[in-house]
Amino acid sequence: MRVIAGKFRSRQLASLAGADIRPTSDRLRETLFDVLAASNDLQGSMWLDLFAGTGAVGIEALSRGAQEVHFVEASRPAANVIRKNLDALEIIGIAHVMISRAVPALHKLAAQASSPRFDFCFIDPPYAMQAQYALVMQTLADSGLLKAGAMVIAEHSKHFDLPGQVAEALNRYRRLEQGDAVLSFYHSR
The tens digit of pLDDT for each residue in 115-150 reads: 779 999 999 998 888 889 999 999 999 999 999 999
| pLDDT (mean) for 39-58 | 92
The pLDDT-based confidence of 29 (bands split at 50, 70, 90) is confident
Residue 18 has a pLDDT of 63
Say whether pLDDT at 21 is over 80: no
Say whether pLDDT at 24 is over 80: no
Residue 17 has a pLDDT of 74
Whether residue 154 contacts residue 183, with contact meaning beta carbons closer than 8 Å, is answered with yes
Whether residue 130 contacts residue 161, with contact meaning beta carbons closer than 8 Å, is answered with no
Q: Which of 32-46, 68-82, 171-185 has the lowest mean pLDDT?
A: 32-46
Whether residue 32 contacts residue 177, with contact meaning beta carbons closer than 8 Å, is answered with no
Q: What is the pLDDT of residues 96-119, one digit of tens each?
A: 999 999 999 999 999 987 777 999
Kindly calculate the radius of gyration of the chain based on its CA atoms and give it in whole angstroms: 15
| pLDDT (mean) for 7-16 | 88
Residue 39 has a pLDDT of 80
Give me the DSSP letters along 34-69: HHHHHH---TT-EEEEET-TTSHHHHHHHHTT-SEE
pTM value > 0.85: yes
Residue 128 has a pLDDT of 82
CA distances from 79 to 7, 97, 115, 175, 180 (A): 22, 7, 20, 29, 26
Residue 94 has a pLDDT of 96
Q: Kindly report the number of other CB atoms within 10 A of residue 22's CB atom.
A: 16
Q: Which residue has the higher pLDDT, 21 or 172?
A: 172
Max alpha carbon distance in the chain (Å)? 41
Q: What is the helix (H) or strand (E) element at residue 4, kind and residue range?
A: none
Task: Answer yes or no: CATH 3.40.140.10 is held by domain 26-188.
Answer: no
Q: Which residue has the higher pLDDT, 113 or 32?
A: 32
